[in-house]
Amino acid sequence: MYNSQQPKDGHSPLADAAFGNGTQAFGKAPEQQGNQRIRHLLKCFGLRTSLIRLKVIDALLTAANNQRTLGVRGVHSHLLELGIPLSFLSVREVLKRLCSEGVITLNADKSYSLHEEAAKVLERRD
């Protein structure tokens, strides 16, 4: 009798799941490595890791790598483009908290960037 759940190519789905696939079988995926850097950064500043903090800092780092700056609206728009449905107020509060803890700085043009000390922490981590 035909069983649609049985593999047809000789591979066991359980064995494949146990060993992982591609990038995860031999190392961490690039996004996980970036998240580890940001987790370390937050820990150095005595902050807990949260998804919104990870994504906000990642957005600022991505913008900096592209020689761009982001304000609150820019960070919020970036997160919405990634499919992360956070309110504008939540993003603004996270940015304010990261500023008050010295992780990021508010520039004169109302954009945000990583603070010098935070950048040094990330450089040492690489």
Contact at 8 Å (CB) between 92 and 100? no
| Residue whose pair of structure tokens reads 């728009």 in the numeric block | 77
By CB atoms closer than 10 A (0-12, 13-18, 19+), residue 67 is: exposed
Confirm whether pTM is higher than 0.85.
Answer: no
- Tell me what pLDDT residue 123 has: 87
Q: List all residues 6 or more positions away from 121 whose beta carbon is below 8 Å from its beta carbon.
A: 40, 41, 44
Share of the chain above pLDDT 90, in %: 65
Give the mean pLDDT of 68-84.
Answer: 94
3-state SS class at 114: strand
The domain tally of the chain equals: 1
The CATH number of the domain holding residue 60 is: 1.10.10.10
**Per-residue pLDDT tens over the stretch 27-43:** 444 455 668 999 999 99
Q: Tell me whether residue 25 is in a domain.
A: no
Residue bearing the bigger pLDDT, 20 or 37: 37
